[in-house]
Structure 1
Amino acid sequence: MLKQSLKNLLATWLAGLLVVLPLALTLALLAWLVNLLAKLLGPATLLGQLFAVLGEPLTNNALLAYWLGTLLLIAAVYCLGFAVQRGLKAPLNKLINAVLGRIPVISKLYGLAERFVALVDKQEGAADISAMSPVWCFFGGKGAAALALLPNPKPIVIDGRDYYAVLIPTAPIPVGGGLLYVPTDWVKPADMGIDAFTSIYLSMGINPPQLPAQTDRAKTTSVDS
């Protein structure tokens, strides 16, 4: 009798845990992201000190100067975006390229950053990341599976064999990753949109991919019930 009561108590507690666990994991992920931003942009960092310098003319308080400088920088970026929307993008790019293009190392870094921004900017047309197709890569043909992006459905021939170029992002920040060329018979389409693809990587796998077989099983269970 006591053993059965303990089992019931444990089952009830586990049921509550399963409800709370997704929320707890989500809050933990948000805390990790906030901590990462604090390490990159906090008052003690190099960028944070730059923000503080911008706010120092307005106050003698170091922390308040940091936040005022941050707000001033945000406002400046907004004004720059407003100018770009009014047709000043081409002249500004021309001016920046003319200045930075004369500095060998910096010009290379700026060119790389500019190409990356063009990749994720939907207004750049062919380089739109949303136009890429999510795919499954089965290494070895039947081995480990990786969720990747197919930027170009046209294969290339390497040593007499057809290969696809695929991008495999990193989690939970999917803007990085690796570019691999894999045999075409290792690549299968993934039945999902780019939003679902991004959600899986941002959640570090907590949000599982909804495979067609899983979806059909869920529908069958719902109909039977």
Structure 2
Amino acid sequence: MQRFLRSLSRTFLAGSLASLPLVLTVVLLGWAVGLARSLVGPGSLIGRLLSGIGVQIVDVENPVVTYAVGIAILLIGVLLLGLVVQTSLRQTFTQLVDRTVRRIPLIGTLYDATNHFVGMFDRDNKADVRAMAPVWCFFGGEGNTAVLALMPNPKPIRLGEHDYLTVLVPTAPVPVGGGLLFVRADWVRPAEISVETLTSVYLSMGLTSPVSK
């Protein structure tokens, strides 16, 4: 009987662990939908603003219709803004923001923080990451502790009697962030792997090997 109960508990535990990612995904999705509804839903401040825009376009009192029209106007506006920033007008738009929003004491600080966060997901930023070279850093010389890092610039700098290379030791793979270190050039050697492999190593917390077998 005890053996049966242990087997049943192990089976139940295995099923629970297998279903946990799906359950957490559904919970997080529900939370995200609820948060979005409270922030931009028809009853929110932004939702009422969008409904007001919709009323100006279509003379209808139905709140669902006016809200949908407001959303459509917003999406068209975002699309037009995307077309603008993909042209030479992007610099003009950035300068306009610098002269207005960034100069407002509290709002400017908040905008800088959110702009930096969103910029980490920009394709241009990802291209910069792919341009970095994966390297091995041997602190204390080869034969000592090895750290897998990214080298953004192969040009060394002279500090005292030694040349140093700039390396980024990741602490967060997506988006890439970490500690920027200056390591002696003779402690650094190229890692014969791609940036994608390096990312998978950090994402898997070491389960993925950076060395082909």
TM-score bracket, normalised by the shorter chain, equals 0.5 to 0.7
User: Match of 2:11?
Assistant: none
TM superposition score normalised by structure 1: 0.57
User: Match of 1:209?
Assistant: 209
Query: Is the 8 Å Cα contact of residues 173 and 201 (structure 1) preserved in structure 2?
Result: no
Q: 3-state SS of the aligned residue for 1:81?
A: helix
Query: Is the 8 Å Cα contact of residues 168 and 179 (structure 1) preserved in structure 2?
Result: yes
User: Match of 1:138?
Assistant: 138
Deviating more after overlay: 177-186 vs 140-149 = 140-149
1:161-176 to 2 correspondences below 5 Å: 161-176=162-177
User: Match of 1:49?
Assistant: 39
- Which 5+ residue runs of structure 1 have no aligned equivalent? 1-16, 18-23, 215-225
Higher-Rg structure is 2
1:1-80 to 2 correspondences below 5 Å: 28=21, 31=24, 35=28, 43-44=34-35, 49=39, 52-56=44-48, 58=51, 77-80=78-81
TM superposition score normalised by structure 2: 0.59
Distance 1:172 1:150, change over 3 A: closer
Q: 3-state SS of the aligned residue for 2:47?
A: helix
User: Match of 1:179?
Assistant: 180
Alignment equivalent of 1:117, drawn from 116, 119, 125: 119
Query: Is the 8 Å Cα contact of residues 120 and 129 (structure 1) preserved in structure 2?
Result: no
What letter matches 1:54 in structure 2?
I
Q: 3-state SS of the aligned residue for 1:201?
A: helix
Partner Cα separation in structure 2 for residue 29 and residue 178 of structure 1: 33
**Greater share of residues in helix:** 1
Q: 3-state SS of the aligned residue for 2:168?
A: strand
Partner Cα separation in structure 2 for residue 177 and residue 166 of structure 1: 10
1:124-155 residue CA offsets vs partner (Å, 9 max, x unmatched) = 9xx82221101111222233322211011111
Partner Cα separation in structure 1 for residue 164 and residue 110 of structure 2: 29
1:139-178 residue CA offsets vs partner (Å, 9 max, x unmatched) = 2223332221101111112222111111112245342211
1:16-49 residue CA offsets vs partner (Å, 9 max, x unmatched) = x9xxxxxx6xx849957x84x888x66459x963
How far 1:55 moved relative to its partner? 2.7
What letter matches 2:197 in structure 1?
A
Distance 1:187 1:73, change over 3 A: farther
**Greater share of residues in strand:** 2
- Which 5+ residue runs of structure 2 have no aligned equivalent? 1-13, 52-61
How far 1:60 moved relative to its partner? 8.2
Partner Cα separation in structure 2 for residue 113 and residue 88 of structure 1: 18
Q: 3-state SS of the aligned residue for 2:183?
A: strand
1:138-157 to 2 correspondences below 5 Å: 138-141=138-141, 142-157=143-158
Distance 1:30 1:95, change over 3 A: farther
Distance 1:112 1:60, change over 3 A: closer
Distance 1:140 1:91, change over 3 A: same
